[in-house]
Structure 1
Amino acid sequence: MENERLQATMAGRGIDARALANRVGVDVKTVERWVRGRVPRQRLAVCAAEVLEEDAVFLWPSLHRGRAARAVSPEVVAVYGQRAEVSPAMWRSFFEQAENNIDILVYAGNHLHESIPGFDGLLAAKAEQGCLIRIALGDPDSENVVAKGSEERFGHGIESRCRLALMHYQPLGRLDGVNVRTHGTTLYNSIYRADDELLVNAHVWGVNAFGAPVWHLRRSPGGDMVNSYRQSFDAVWERSSPVA
């Protein structure tokens, strides 16, 4: 079976088999075998992935790190131990790549405005280009938001952060293509969507979101993680209230 991910990535980067072979230091026939489905040794896979600016496990999902085999979903691009490890540049490029849909499900998510200069302008520009944007923020008066603050030992801090987030996003809600709502659901994960890619901040009891893991997912045939999280977003969205 041909490696469609490798083919698409090479085409997207403008790198053909010969160019990739030269930069990795292998014969062009070796790269052609990779395209036809051969899985390279880990060292070569990592080298090729660096040239292509992609994650090796995304290009070769069956590539296992370490001696013990582990199942890896074909939709997992990368896993970050903490949200703090995701750089501001990564957050910006993640949203900039969106062409059709941007979804944000958080309680506050103020780190986006704090770490990405002109984040509102970025979203406004995307909306002007025809991107549909949905933003669901925590209702600061809801029982679940108050409980979350207590669990994180922030007291009323999270409620203030929710109100600050609403101040950031409310003006955007006046733009065509941008919808801002508030919700009071139990937030098991913060979900950030850019078309078929997601950054999912998995929450941990008693830990602030910046210290919890993040999954970088990309929709792929044979995987259902992206669809599961998108359905979760839609379910919360249906229960949320429009912001005036």
Structure 2
Amino acid sequence: MPNERLRDALLRNGLDLAHVARAAGVDPKTVERWITKNRTPYPKHRYAIASLVRESENYLWPDAAAPQRKAEAAESEVVKVYPHRHSIPAEVWDRLIGQAAERVEVLAHAALFLVERPTFIKDLAEKGRNGARIRLLFGDPASREVARRSDEEGLGKGTLGARIRNALAFYRPLVDVAGVDMRFHKTTLYNSMFRFDDEMIVNTHVYGCQGAHAPALHLRNLSAGDLFETYAESFESVWRLSNPATF
């Protein structure tokens, strides 16, 4: 079976076999076998290619790292654990948002707290125009899943849906901005995710507890790690099930 993840990563970055071969110090035929026959490169080559395409080794070659190494790397991927999302310092959010240059991804219901940062929407628009990929996933305010979560968090019927519609008013200026894509999801949201390049805030959801009061993990992607990639793949799964947001 071909390594479609590697093939896709090379295509997305505009890299051909010769370019990768030079970067890894191998023959182009070797690179071709890595793709078409799913051969696993030596560790030094995996590292070089992962750096070249800005993906983790574990994403490109899920079975390459030993389980023990994955477990050790996962521990190192946890930058900090916060007892509540609201306890994350404002300067942490400012740094994550300000430094993101290639990717911003949000999976939440409303993400209303983000627009409390005065320049957040303008920053996203500028990043999108400069080539960053901005993907924002909001809960569908008319869905049963959102209505149920509103009840479970003790907000009252319809409150969360109204909060999402309120948030969309702030995000409306991003409609039709190059590089920005906004969608609705109807999933049971186990975690909210806020990714900025190779760092991510994962806001866990606790039954009966509003998101702001639930724990949060600050993660940093490591090439051989498995934890960050688990959440990143979950985002992709929800994205595939989502529909364009309506305003």
TM-score (norm 1): 0.68
Secondary structure of residue in 2 paired with 1:230: helix
Aligned position for 1:159: 161
Is 1:78 aligned to residue 46 of structure 2?
no
Aligned position for 1:182: 184
Shift in Å, 1:128? 2.0
Q: Is the 8 A contact 2:73 2:225 kept in 1?
A: no
Secondary structure of residue in 2 paired with 1:175: coil
Aligned position for 1:122: 123
Change (3 A) 1:72 1:196: closer
Aligned position for 1:96: 98
CA RMSD of aligned residues (A): 1.6
Runs ≥4 residues deviating over 4 A: none
Structure 2 unaligned regions, length at least 5:
1-71
Is 1:225 aligned to residue 227 of structure 2?
yes
Shift in Å, 1:97? 1.2
Shift in Å, 1:171? 2.3
* Aligned partner of 1:169 among 160, 168, 171: 171
Secondary structure of residue in 1 paired with 2:76: coil
Aligned position for 2:65: none
Shift in Å, 1:93? 1.1
Q: How does 1:184-223 map to 2 (within 5 A)?
A: 184-223=186-225
Shift in Å, 1:152? 0.8
User: Which residue identity lines up with residue 122 of structure 2 in the other structure?
Assistant: G
Shift in Å, 1:222? 3.1
Q: Using the alignment, how far apart are the partners of 1:162 and 1:99 within structure 2?
A: 26
What's the % identity of the aligned pairs? 40
Q: Using the alignment, how far apart are the partners of 1:182 and 1:208 within structure 2?
A: 20
* Greater relative CO (CA pairs within 8 A, separation 6+): 2
